Structure 1
Amino acid sequence: MVLRKRVWRIIKENKGRYIGIVILILLGSFYFTAATGVANNLEKMVVGFAEEYRQEDLTFSTDKSIEDIAALEDESGALIEAYRQYDIKLPDGELRLLSLSAKINIPAVLSGRGLENPGDILLDPYFSQTHGLNIGGEIELNGKTFNIVGTMAVPNYVFILKNLYDVLPTSGFGIGIVSSADIEAFPEVVTVYSAYFEDRENINGQTSKLHGLLSEKGYSLSEWMVAGNNKRVSMPWANISSMKSMSFPVATVFFLLSCIIVAVMIMRIVKSDGVVIGTLYAQGYRRRELTRHFMAIPVLLSGVGGFAGTLLALPGVRPVVNSMLIYYILPDKGITFSPLNLVLAVLIPVAFISLSSFLFIRKILKKTAVELMKGDEQKAKVNFIEATLRLDRLKFNTKFRIREQVRSIPRLLFLVLGVSAASMILLFGFTFNYSMDEVNRGALERYVYPLEYNFKEVQNLQDRSIPKGAEPYNASRAYPEGRESVEFYLVGMETDSVGLKMKDLGGDQLPRDQVNITYPLASRLKLKEGDTISFVNKLDGKSYSLIIDGIVEAYGEQFVFMPLEEFNRITGHPPGSYRTVLSSHEIDFDESQLSGVMDARDPEAFEDLNMSTTLIVASVTALAVLIAVIIIFLVTSLMIDESRNTISLLKVLGYRGNELARLILNSSTPAVFIGYWLGLPLMLAFGNILYGYVAETINMVIPMIVNPLYVLISFIIIFAVYEITKWLCGRKLAKISMSEALKAGTE
């Protein structure tokens, strides 16, 4: 009972310090619970939706309608369904009508009712919300009025992208479901096919078989996209995977930082109580009882922090899931939590921190009562680092500052690693924001001719002349042999093309009459000039090889450029074939023949992404500042407590408050400086691993571009936090009286 009261007295004496430790533990448990909760609930929604409503494994288009789908299904072992689609321009956006599916990509009604009568329409909820449309209302499409009967989710449009190769949603774009009879009333409706393979263990083999059968039957494929590369269905998986992969490592960093500081504090408490512990041994207390006594503090702190973090995270999962359901159209299955993850969020910090504290406690409690009663544990000891340093030649103030740091290696290690963690988070936020800006800017600035017209079918120069100020391109998607996840564009351009900038890594112009590869793709495939790239064309399944002649300076683009006529020859297209026109001015093409138009003059397509990166930077900056404040405060506070007698004695000797502050508090400056610059390589290593994972998951290359200005801003922020924290701790230093030195001498 007496020892139990002492635990509460110790905590009350240093409330601020222990609150800081609890917050560190709380952040780790909060992040772990929130990340796994969001990922698991999204996974439940995504997997359940895909299975229940039969999400496609493949989408493809052919040059002519498939005559006997039933026979093709029997031969391929797949379910195949043709659905019709038609795009309608609206004053403030665009709506893609889809015919109602029966076998594959079956729509799920989210609100209202399904289609029952002619003229009924189901809309995706995001389109309805942004355009102010309600169930029971009407929408006019090309002169025909439709009754809005409900909202829906479609398995092949979980992430609503207008085109298969888009990365971001098109502003104002949405989808609607109508009956087959209603959609057939529109002119020039496009037919698209979906396939669902019944053998779920051999999807790749069945995909290849279906591709071969279509080729044998004389069908030319204008589109071929497996679900794994289709961002409309794969983007949610990328978010789920990244959350799951990062939840435990990030939480572990917080827990390990807490381990170090709690262990340092427990070691200090036990050492300062050495004489008392020896006396308690002599009075009959056993080692087991004293171990339980000193272990109560780390167990209590980690338990409270872990439990509080877990509880705070529970209500935070629903808003995050809801925010994602704005972009991911899924049936809401409700929010549930894994009991195992909730238990781990509490037990992991308890286990980590208790184990580290136990090791320090046992090391001291193994000594005999006589050894402890001598008080040797309270005396400062010279470690190997201090012994190695030749401090005799230095001035007193310099020697004092160095000894303040090296005489507590765990405390010094915690400060350096803690500042490194805060710096790494801060630098990563700024670097991610700058990298995304550079990718977007570089992609837009590459276009000398800002308008890109993409046709649904291959065109030919013999049938259609290209006006002056425009030039034709042809392109095909491909992947390196054995690495289907690394998808890139093979682009054919005229040898006198000027519509795209093409410079080498030195800034010199590259010829267009050779094979050039963008730097991100070359780096990813470890290729250089003179190497051979072997790849598979995704449309015809054939293998090709090209020798790389030049490397194009680029940030995120993954392209291989070659002469147009050579492109058409090796891919089997007639001479003069093209599918894209790049133009310096607007051209009046028939919109029914176009699959999309990109306007590089208007960067609004990237506004959503810029908004999300701004939120990321703001959140990680706040987190980094919070971590830095807690860690620097804890270490400085601990250093003041360990040096109380010394500070009191220096006051007796005539040192003033400002002099003591410089002497005691400034001794941590080199450690903070080292910690900050250590955070930079750690951030680069972490970023490269994370970006490599993103590239393999969703085939999106994000370069690590460090802006010196942001490095300087991060440095200023960290040291501003350091100075503010020193000022706060300086008030505690000023409260130490000169009488403490006299009391210590008397004792």
Structure 2
Amino acid sequence: MSLQKGVFRTVWKRKVQSFGAILLLLIAVMLYIMMSNSLSSLDKSYQQFKNDFIQEDFHFIAANQIEESQVDRLKEEFSIQLEERSFTDVSLEGEETLRVLTVSKEVNLPYVSEGLLPETKNEIALSEKFAETLNVKVGDSIRIKGNSYTISGLIFLPDYVYPIENETNLLSIPGSFGVGVMTEEGMSALGLPLITQYMGVTEQNSDLTELKQEMNQVVPVLKWVNASENPGISTFETEVEGSKSFSTVLPLFITLLAIMMVTLLVTKQIEWERKQIGTLKALGFSKGELVNAYISLPLLVGLTGTVLGSIAGWLLSAPIQALYTDYYHIPSLTTVGNPLIFVWAIAVPVFLILIISGIAIHRKVSSDPLTLMHGAAIGELKHYRTVGSRFVSRFSNFQTKYRVRAMLRSKTRMFYMLIGSIFSSVTLLFGFLSMNSLDTLFTDTYQNVNKYNYAVHYNSIQTEQDATGGDPFALIQAEIGTINVNDKKKAVADQTVTLYGVDPEVTLVDLSVGENSGNISAALKDGVIINQVIAYTHDLHLGDEITLISSTNGEEMTFQINGIVDSYTGASLYTDIAILNEMAGFPEHSYTGIWTMEEPKDQSEIFMMEDKSKIVDSFESLIGPSRFSILITAGIAIFIGVLIMSLLTNMILEENTYTISMLKVLGYENKAIAKMVLNLYTAVVIVGYLLSIPLSLAAMESIVKYLAGETSFALPVELSPISLIAGLLIMLVTYQLSLFVSKRKVAKISLQEVMKRQD
């Protein structure tokens, strides 16, 4: 007699639970392979692109052009590659912004995907993705400032992997901004003011502090950006790291849910067949033979789910990689993923299923034949009678007593429902958190705090006494030396921040929005006001201290934190302009930029201008896709929730067929029976949802702190009361959906089941 034959009968008899577990495994493995394989291929292409085409480690913009002899000296003294590159921004006829750069020879080399680099002054090579949005190809022409330029080739640039205009525009709008390269003669022929940028590559783990100080001795540095702080580069790297974690954690959690379902299914099957197992043991079957027979069910479910998931994940890898490469401008240099991903995706879930299920099966079949043939587990019943009956006796209503008793008899099932509810709720709340956070970020940063329309940065220090039409500011970049939190000093390595010197009466940046110690004028004169990015990154609060080292002259100064302004973009601090000028060695009453409501007419002395309307447009363009992604997230949460809850309710239904038939004999209606037998876990779903709220907030908080440290971009972690209520209602509706099909099955159970189940 082959015991394994019973496995297939079990799969078919318990097909809802078996196929549900297979589906959970399929989803988990599909997500893992789909994300991991596409990210692995994309990351390989990026690393090859980054290394072969010499991506910068830093770039800076100086007040004046550096002499060639000084460049050679710096390259030799600090063992760096340093190259000069000019650029300018032009508006095309369709209102797209095109940044035109000179062709670099040493750093940030252009990768040509089609055609050639420009050789004459009337040629230009465009970013491949930008050319697609303009619907042009190699050989076509575009008009720039009234002149026609032939497209000689299509390119990718290593420092514009995520194409944005400047570090304040943290979101890229596809098609609105692009890059291209021209010859130096072509750039000069444009007749536009050019900005000179210096790009550098250092030896691995080099300290840039001395280089910055030396550079400021040669020429005043207006802006210095390390690659790790450049959103055009770091956004992709952070996305890849975050996606890798997501592609591991989420599938693993779904796999654990599947394993719990399989284990619950096989142990319940053994409970239902205790007498048969006892008889088989009495007839001479060994414990090992019984374990091998019942382990076939988890093995069958595990292999089926993982193999199907691997196939689905492999088929979806290419579309996901294409989606990433459309969003990030990276050439497809390799399409081969990591073969070990497929091995892990199948081996790990199957191994975990066999180990966990094997332990459970071994424990169940280890009892002696007489104990097994008694049917119910005597010890468990005694324990229930002594512990559970006291609690049940407190209720007077029979239906309530029955429901409570049913829950207490299967604590494992109740725990599984709780975990499933928490998982679905966390997934749902993450979507709500993301939407609420984006709305708050947009409102606080760009409406409540930054009230200006333009932030103008001059290419030299301004000393005019009257900066009409706006609020002047002085700006330097600084390194955080140490932070002092609760009298505990901690060193901070390699983080560059922007220190603004502002007039205490500044109106176009409202520093009162957020948490502060009182009078803004006093707060600026006695210390600094930091934004939420720095606060999140280092867990800083009012009264803590921060030590800054000026990048212009190495001057070190310690400030007390007197305020935290609700601004969530850029690692920024604010102090009195007189204090900053003294720290940086600037002339008294000088400034380097101005916040204004009107666009300046004379832009000859401007090296960068932040247009807030473009930033607002980028956020508004993000809101639509964000709402759509939240709907997808909610859909995933509802689907998994319905699946898990349906599996449990079907198991309850099959387990209580005899009881349902008996209740029908006693005269109970189908509706009352369904309420007593199936609708047991409403309170568990609510508890799971309530537990998911702090879990979601804590997880989001840790993600935000990581993002703030890696990208100088933070999200406020908030859940509105409406979102909380909506989430609870969605979870309760999800639970009722899972009960709907099972309730219909109650009506199909006949009264004759009582007679069929008599022993």
Q: Same fold (TM over 0.5)?
A: yes
Matching residue of 2:459: 457
8 Å contact kept, 1:109–1:153: yes
* Distance in 1 separating the partners of 2:685 and 2:216: 65
Describe the SS at the equivalent of 1:343.
Answer: helix
* Distance in 2 separating the partners of 1:598 and 1:386: 73
Matching residue of 1:191: 196
Describe the shift of the 1:12–1:529 C-alpha distance in structure 2 as closer, same or farther (beyond 3 A): closer
Give the letter aligned to residue 261 of structure 1: M
Give the letter aligned to residue 590 of structure 2: S
Matching residue of 1:232: 232
How far 1:602 sits from its partner (Å)?
A: 7.8
1:387-443 deviations in Å (ceiling 9; x for gaps): 154222312211110111111111111000001100010011111111011101111
Give the letter aligned to residue 652 of structure 1: V
Which of 107, 122, 127 is the aligned partner of 2:125? 122
Matching residue of 2:601: 588
8 Å contact kept, 2:569–2:712: no
1:424-472 deviations in Å (ceiling 9; x for gaps): 1001111111101110111111257431232242442427x4334x221
* Distance in 1 separating the partners of 2:148 and 2:614: 35
Deviates further, 390-399 or 432-441: 390-399
* Distance in 2 separating the partners of 1:528 and 1:5: 66
Give the letter aligned to residue 197 of structure 2: V
Q: What is the TM-score of this pair, normalised by structure 2?
A: 0.92
How far 1:320 sits from its partner (Å)?
A: 1.9
Matching residue of 1:214: 215
8 Å contact kept, 1:430–1:710: yes
Matching residue of 1:489: 498
Describe the SS at the equivalent of 1:164.
Answer: coil
How far 1:384 sits from its partner (Å)?
A: 5.8
Describe the shift of the 1:382–1:691 C-alpha distance in structure 2 as closer, same or farther (beyond 3 A): farther
Matching residue of 1:393: 394
* Distance in 1 separating the partners of 2:190 and 2:693: 58
Please list, as runs of the form range in 1=range in 2, the aligned pairs for 1:559-574 lying within 5 A after superposition. 559-574=572-587
* Distance in 2 separating the partners of 1:621 and 1:295: 35
Which of 439, 442, 445 is the aligned partner of 2:441? 439
* Distance in 2 separating the partners of 1:499 and 1:376: 76
1:140 correspondence with 2:153: no
* Distance in 2 separating the partners of 1:213 and 1:546: 25
1:502 correspondence with 2:511: yes
8 Å contact kept, 2:91–2:98: yes
How far 1:557 sits from its partner (Å)?
A: 6.3
Matching residue of 1:181: 185
8 Å contact kept, 1:479–1:486: yes
Give the letter aligned to residue 622 of structure 2: L
Describe the shift of the 1:236–1:540 C-alpha distance in structure 2 as closer, same or farther (beyond 3 A): farther
Give the letter aligned to residue 208 of structure 1: T
How far 1:607 sits from its partner (Å)?
A: 2.8
Give the letter aligned to residue 439 of structure 1: L
How far 1:540 sits from its partner (Å)?
A: 4.1
Which of 157, 162, 174 is the aligned partner of 2:160? 157
* Aligned Cα root-mean-square deviation (Å): 2.4
8 Å contact kept, 2:30–2:310: yes
Matching residue of 1:725: 738
1:253 correspondence with 2:215: no
Which of 713, 722, 737 is the aligned partner of 2:726? 713
* Distance in 1 separating the partners of 2:697 and 2:249: 16
Deviates further, 621-630 or 108-117: 108-117
* Distance in 1 separating the partners of 2:523 and 2:565: 12
Please list, as runs of the form range in 1=range in 2, the aligned pairs for 1:286-301 lying within 5 A after superposition. 286-301=286-301
Percent of pairs with identical residues: 24
1:166 correspondence with 2:169: yes
1:192-230 deviations in Å (ceiling 9; x for gaps): 111122x33x32x2x3343344244x3221121121111
* Distance in 2 separating the partners of 1:687 and 1:154: 33
Give the letter aligned to residue 110 of structure 1: S
Deviates further, 620-629 or 323-332: 323-332
1:563-594 deviations in Å (ceiling 9; x for gaps): 22222122211122223322234442326624
* Distance in 2 separating the partners of 1:215 and 1:519: 29
Give the letter aligned to residue 130 of structure 2: F
8 Å contact kept, 1:37–1:317: yes
* Distance in 1 separating the partners of 2:744 and 2:386: 30
Give the letter aligned to residue 489 of structure 1: T
Describe the SS at the equivalent of 2:719.
Answer: coil
How far 1:20 sits from its partner (Å)?
A: 1.4
* Distance in 1 separating the partners of 2:556 and 2:38: 41
Describe the SS at the equivalent of 1:148.
Answer: strand
Describe the SS at the equivalent of 2:593.
Answer: strand
Please list, as runs of the form range in 1=range in 2, the aligned pairs for 1:307-456 lying within 5 A after superposition. 307-377=307-377, 381-383=381-383, 387=387, 389-394=390-395, 395-447=397-449, 449-456=451-458
8 Å contact kept, 1:54–1:105: yes
Which of 594, 614, 626 is the aligned partner of 1:613? 626
Deviates further, 709-718 or 532-541: 532-541
Which of 617, 623, 645 is the aligned partner of 2:636? 623
Describe the SS at the equivalent of 2:163.
Answer: coil
How far 1:561 sits from its partner (Å)?
A: 1.8
8 Å contact kept, 1:386–1:406: no
Deviates further, 291-300 or 569-578: 569-578
Describe the shift of the 1:684–1:548 C-alpha distance in structure 2 as closer, same or farther (beyond 3 A): closer
How far 1:555 sits from its partner (Å)?
A: 5.3
Matching residue of 1:306: 306
8 Å contact kept, 1:447–1:600: no
8 Å contact kept, 1:458–1:577: no
Give the letter aligned to residue 400 of structure 2: T
Q: What is the TM-score of this pair, normalised by structure 1?
A: 0.94
1:30 correspondence with 2:30: yes
Describe the SS at the equivalent of 1:55.
Answer: coil
Deviates further, 395-404 or 479-488: 479-488
How far 1:295 sits from its partner (Å)?
A: 0.7
* Distance in 1 separating the partners of 2:385 and 2:36: 42
1:467-488 deviations in Å (ceiling 9; x for gaps): 34x2212223334223346544
* Distance in 2 separating the partners of 1:221 and 1:190: 13
Describe the SS at the equivalent of 1:43.
Answer: helix
Describe the SS at the equivalent of 1:680.
Answer: helix
* Distance in 2 separating the partners of 1:621 and 1:18: 25
Give the letter aligned to residue 136 of structure 2: L
* Distance in 2 separating the partners of 1:227 and 1:159: 12
Describe the shift of the 1:524–1:612 C-alpha distance in structure 2 as closer, same or farther (beyond 3 A): same
8 Å contact kept, 2:111–2:155: yes
Matching residue of 1:535: 548
How far 1:361 sits from its partner (Å)?
A: 0.7
Give the letter aligned to residue 129 of structure 1: E
8 Å contact kept, 2:35–2:320: no
Describe the shift of the 1:229–1:584 C-alpha distance in structure 2 as closer, same or farther (beyond 3 A): closer
How far 1:541 sits from its partner (Å)?
A: 4.1
8 Å contact kept, 1:49–1:155: yes
1:648-675 deviations in Å (ceiling 9; x for gaps): 1111111110110111122221111111
Matching residue of 2:72: 70
Describe the shift of the 1:556–1:63 C-alpha distance in structure 2 as closer, same or farther (beyond 3 A): closer
Please list, as runs of the form range in 1=range in 2, the aligned pairs for 1:678-697 lying within 5 A after superposition. 678-697=691-710
Deviates further, 335-344 or 689-698: 689-698
Describe the shift of the 1:89–1:591 C-alpha distance in structure 2 as closer, same or farther (beyond 3 A): farther
Please list, as runs of the form range in 1=range in 2, the aligned pairs for 1:256-295 lying within 5 A after superposition. 256-295=256-295
8 Å contact kept, 1:123–1:175: yes
Describe the SS at the equivalent of 1:480.
Answer: strand
8 Å contact kept, 2:262–2:357: yes
Give the letter aligned to residue 195 of structure 1: G
